[in-house]
């Protein structure tokens, strides 16, 4: 007797997983809540048949369960893009039952909008990189709070640049109202602590990637420092999972968005996709490249003469540099 091929959709939650099992004709065999444990899920589904394809919606925690089902349970499972799945559903109603059913049906017809499942070591590096980004954001917010307090009291700006040692000495000697001065001291104390934490995290990241060949290659490129190289490694993971440089640029949210209809042809800025922190890091690199690298400086000057604003110029440099980087990494991979 032939074993029935089944297709599985998993709607993930912290406490449970809604599991829908469907046969090749679209008949629902099972659609119920199960404990958030890969063995319990695999055992229950095994009773209905052999898993031909499965899908789980990408969310916090889903990647870990997916990794267990793939490597321990032997499932052919894919992460699905939650935004695209929601658009495919085209229904104002939402329930765990219907979400799991849709995922199972998409797996059955082979139309899962997939998301790359990064290996555990890349996910671990990603967590540390994002922790560093959180600390950097906290440091930036402290600077903004202190700046807002100074503007509120109309304090004249000193001749030195903000947040240099000279500026810090000026700020510590500045006479402010009692409560405002107390707040500034607390913010400075927190600022120093965040800077120490940030230095510790960056030293830890340097140790994590000292044997990473891709990071070491990226560091040899002009305009690329440790933060940019490590962020690219963590968020992109593998460059060879993209077929073209344009796909990589689109993944990073640096491709122009088309808003054409009929005879009207128009651009609508950058696409609304990708990790915003990754895009910010690449745009910062683009600002450095258009100042110090002759190739990108020439492109920036050409766009500036055409009347393009600075933000558009930086985005254009970032887009083309990323597409060029894809081919450089591809050639390096083939040569090494």
- The string of DSSP codes covering 26-62 is S-EEEEEEEES-HHHHHHHHHTT-EEEEEEEE--TTH
SS3 256: strand
Contact 75, 96 (CB under 8 A): no
Beta bridge partners of 32: 19
Secondary structure percentages of the chain, helix, strand, coil, to 5: 60, 15, 25
Q: Which residue has the higher pLDDT, 46 or 265?
A: 46
Per-residue pLDDT of 203-226, as tens digits, reads 999 999 999 999 999 999 988 999
> pLDDT-based confidence at 328, cuts 50/70/90?
very high
Weakest mean pLDDT among 22-26, 114-118, 135-139: 114-118
| Average pLDDT value for residue range 99-128 | 92
pLDDT at 82 over 70: yes
| Full-model pTM | 0.86
pLDDT at residue 265, as a whole number: 63
pLDDT at residue 1, as a whole number: 40
pLDDT at residue 264, as a whole number: 66
Q: Measured between alpha carbons, how far is 115 from 135 in angstroms, rounded to an integer?
A: 27
pLDDT at residue 93, as a whole number: 77
pLDDT at 191 over 60: yes
| Average pLDDT value for residue range 51-71 | 92
pLDDT at residue 244, as a whole number: 92
**What's the per-residue H, E or C state across 266-314?**
CEEEECCCCCHHHHHHHHHHHHHHHHHCHHHHHHHHHHHHCCCCHHHHH
pLDDT at residue 51, as a whole number: 94
pLDDT at residue 267, as a whole number: 67
* Dihedral angle computed from the Cα positions of residues 107, 111, 112 and 114, in that order, rounded to the nearest 10 degrees: 140
| Average pLDDT value for residue range 141-156 | 95
What phi-psi label fits residue 257: left (phi over 0), alpha (psi between -120 and 50 degrees) or beta? beta
Per-residue pLDDT of 3-14, as tens digits, reads 789 999 999 999
Nearest CA among 316, 142, 328, 163 for reference residue 229:
328
Q: Measured between alpha carbons, how far is 9 from 210 in angstroms, rounded to an integer?
A: 40
SS3 262: coil
pLDDT at 78 over 50: yes
| Average pLDDT value for residue range 247-267 | 76
Tell me whether strands 16-23 and 77-80 are parallel, antiparallel or unpaired.
unpaired
pLDDT at residue 86, as a whole number: 79
Chain centre distance of CA 71:
24
Chain centre distance of CA 148:
30
CA 64 to each of CA 67, 73, 118, 193: distance values in angstroms, whole numbers, following the listed order: 5, 13, 10, 33
Per-residue pLDDT of 277-315, as tens digits, reads 999 999 999 999 998 899 999 999 999 999 988 888 999
Weakest mean pLDDT among 32-36, 268-272, 287-291: 268-272
Tell me whether strands 77-80 and 50-57 are parallel, antiparallel or unpaired.
parallel
pLDDT at 228 over 60: yes
> pLDDT-based confidence at 88, cuts 50/70/90?
confident
């Amino acid at each position: 007797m032939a074993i029935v091929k089944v297709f599985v959709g998993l709607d993930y939650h912290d406490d449970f997983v809604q599991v829908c099992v469907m046969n090749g004709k679209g008949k629902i065999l099972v659609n119920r809540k199960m404990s958030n444990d890969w063995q319990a899920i695999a055992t229950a589904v095994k009773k209905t048949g052999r898993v031909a394809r499965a899908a789980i919606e990408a969310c916090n925690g889903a990647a870990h369960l997916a990794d267990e089902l793939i490597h321990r349970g032997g499932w052919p499972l894919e992460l699905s893009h939650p935004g695209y799945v929601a658009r495919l559903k085209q229904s104002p109603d939402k329930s765990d039952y219907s979400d799991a059913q849709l995922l199972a049906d998409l797996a059955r017809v082979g139309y899962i909008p997939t998301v790359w499942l990064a290996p555990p070591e890349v996910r671990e590096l990603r967590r540390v990189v994002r922790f560093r980004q959180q600390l950097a954001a906290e440091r930036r917010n402290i600077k903004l709070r202190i700046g807002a307090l100074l503007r509120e009291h109309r304090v004249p700006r000193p001749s030195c640049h903000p947040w240099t040692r000279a500026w810090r000495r000026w700020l510590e000697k500045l006479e402010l109202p009692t409560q405002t001065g107390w707040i500034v001291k607390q913010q400075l104390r927190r600022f120093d602590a965040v800077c120490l934490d940030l230095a510790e995290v960056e030293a830890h990241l340097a140790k994590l990637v000292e044997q990473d060949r891709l990071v070491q290659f990226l560091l040899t490129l002009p305009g690329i420092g440790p933060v940019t190289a490590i962020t690219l490694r963590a968020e992109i993971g593998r460059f060879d999972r993209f077929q073209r440089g344009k796909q990589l640029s689109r993944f990073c949210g640096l491709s122009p968005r088309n808003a054409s209809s009929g005879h009207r042809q128009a651009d609508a800025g950058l696409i609304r996709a990708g990790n915003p922190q990754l895009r910010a890091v690449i745009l910062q690199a683009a600002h450095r490249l258009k100042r110090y690298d002759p190739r990108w400086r020439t492109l920036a000057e050409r766009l500036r003469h055409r009347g393009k604003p600075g933000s558009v110029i930086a985005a254009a440099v970032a887009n083309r540099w990323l597409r060029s980087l894809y081919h450089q990494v591809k050639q390096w991979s083939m040569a090494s």
